[in-house]
Copies of this chain bind each other. A is one copy, B any other.
Amino acid sequence: VIEFTEKDPYAPIAYVYEISDVLFDKKTAYQRIQVVENRFFGRMLLLDGIVQITDKDEFFYHEMLAHPVLHAHPDPRRVVVIGGGDGGTVREVLKHDTVEKVFFIEIDEEVIETSRRFFPKVSAGIDDPRVEVRPMDGAEFVKELADEVDAIIVDSTDIVGFAKVLFEESFFRSVNRALRAGGVYASHTESLHFHLNIVREVQEVLRRVFPVVDLYTASIATYGGNWWAFGCASKGGGFRDKVRPCKVPTRFYDEEVHRQAFLTPRLYDRLLRGELDW
C-alpha cells in the first residue's frame, strides 16, 4: 500500500490517503496532474498534490458551486465556467434547461483530457453542443465581455499560486461588467475553519464591486478544513429569498439545502465585522 499525504502549506492538518494505484502522473506547463485510486473515495484527481475531486464526493462540491446561484437567477442562459477542467461544474450547469451556452475556460487543457480519460461521469458534459471550450486565462476571457452573460462561476484551485488573480478586485470588476442585468457570480473561498481571514477578505472585495454579496457553506471531507465557503454576488436580487424551486436532478442540493447553506445573519454579520473568534 502506498500512502499519499496532502500537505497543503495553508492547512494545519495534512491528510493521508492509502493509494492502491497511481493511474496517471504528469507535469504540464501549469501544474502536476495525478490520478490515484483509493478504496473509499475511488479515483482522485490531484493538482500539485492537492485533492481536487474524488469519484465518491465530487457531487457535493459541484452541485453546491453551480446550483445556488443558478437557482437565484430567474433565467440563466449564457454561463461562463472558469477552471474546473474536470468538467463537474459544467455538468451541473448543463442540467438547467434554460442554459443555451457555456463558455468553459480552462487554462490547462491537459486537465480536461485527464478528466475525459479517467473521470467519464464528471467530464460527460464537456462534449455537449452548448459548451465552447477555451483553453486560456479566465481573467483574460472575462475582460473582453461586456453585458453578455448571466452567470460566471469560478471553479479554481486554492486561492494561492496562479488562481490568485481570480480573487482580486480588478477581476471582480471585469465580472461585474461582463454580467447582464440580474447576473450572478459564485466561487469557492476556502474553509471557514482554516481560512477565516481569506473568506472575509474575498467578501470585502466582492462588496466593493457588487450590490448584493453573500456567503454559503458545505461540508466537504476531502478539502482541508472541510467547512467549505462559497462567495456569491449578484447584480439583481438576493440569494436567500425567492429562489426558484430545484427541478434539476441532484444528489444533495435542493431548495431546502439552499436555505440551510447560507451563513446565519448573526454569524455573517460577525464575520464581516471581524468578530468571529476562531
Residues of A within 8 A of B (CB): 5, 12-18, 38-41, 56-57, 59, 191-194, 217, 219, 221-222, 225-227, 251-252, 254, 256-257, 259-260, 264-267, 277-278
Task: Note all chain B residues with C-beta closer than 8 A to A254.
Answer: 264, 266
How far does the alpha carbon of A12 sit from the alpha carbon of B221 in the complex, in Å?
A: 10
* CB of A276 to closest CB in B, whole Å: 8
Task: Note all chain B residues with C-beta closer than 8 A to A57.
Answer: 193, 278
**Pairwise interchain contact B264-A260, C-beta atoms closer than 8 A:** yes
**Pairwise interchain contact A38-B12, C-beta atoms closer than 8 A:** yes
Other-chain contact of A219, B17, B56, B217, B265 (Cβ < 8 Å): B217
* CB of A80 to closest CB in B, whole Å: 29
Q: How many copies of this chain?
A: 2
Task: Note all chain B residues with C-beta closer than 8 A to A256.
Answer: 264-266
Other-chain contact of A227, B13, B41, B59, B226 (Cβ < 8 Å): B226
Task: Note all chain B residues with C-beta closer than 8 A to A278.
Answer: 56-57, 59, 251
Q: List 29 A-B contacts (CB under 8 A).
A: A5-B16, A12-B17, A12-B38, A12-B39, A13-B16, A13-B221, A14-B16, A15-B15, A15-B16, A16-B16, A56-B278, A57-B193, A57-B278, A192-B219, A193-B219, A217-B219, A219-B219, A219-B227, A221-B225, A221-B226, A226-B227, A251-B277, A252-B267, A254-B264, A254-B266, A256-B265, A257-B267, A259-B260, A260-B264
Nearest opposing residue in chain B for A266, CB measure: B254
Nearest opposing residue in chain B for A51, CB measure: B13
Task: Note all chain B residues with C-beta closer than 8 A to A266.
Answer: 254, 256
Task: Note all chain B residues with C-beta closer than 8 A to A191.
Answer: 221
Task: Note all chain B residues with C-beta closer than 8 A to A18.
Answer: 12
* CB of A245 to closest CB in B, whole Å: 12
**Pairwise interchain contact B221-A194, C-beta atoms closer than 8 A:** yes
* CB of A60 to closest CB in B, whole Å: 8
* CB of A86 to closest CB in B, whole Å: 18
A5-B16, A12-B18, A226-B227 known; 11 new pairs, CB 8 Å cut-off, are: A12-B38, A12-B39, A12-B40, A13-B16, A13-B17, A194-B221, A221-B225, A221-B226, A221-B227, A252-B267, A257-B264
How far does the alpha carbon of A9 sit from the alpha carbon of B251 in the complex, in Å?
A: 28
How far does the alpha carbon of A40 sit from the alpha carbon of B265 in the complex, in Å?
A: 27
Task: Note all chain B residues with C-beta closer than 8 A to A225.
Answer: 221
- Nearest 10 CB-CB pairings of A with B: A12-B40, A219-B227, A256-B264, A14-B16, A193-B221, A226-B226, A219-B219, A260-B260, A13-B15, A221-B225
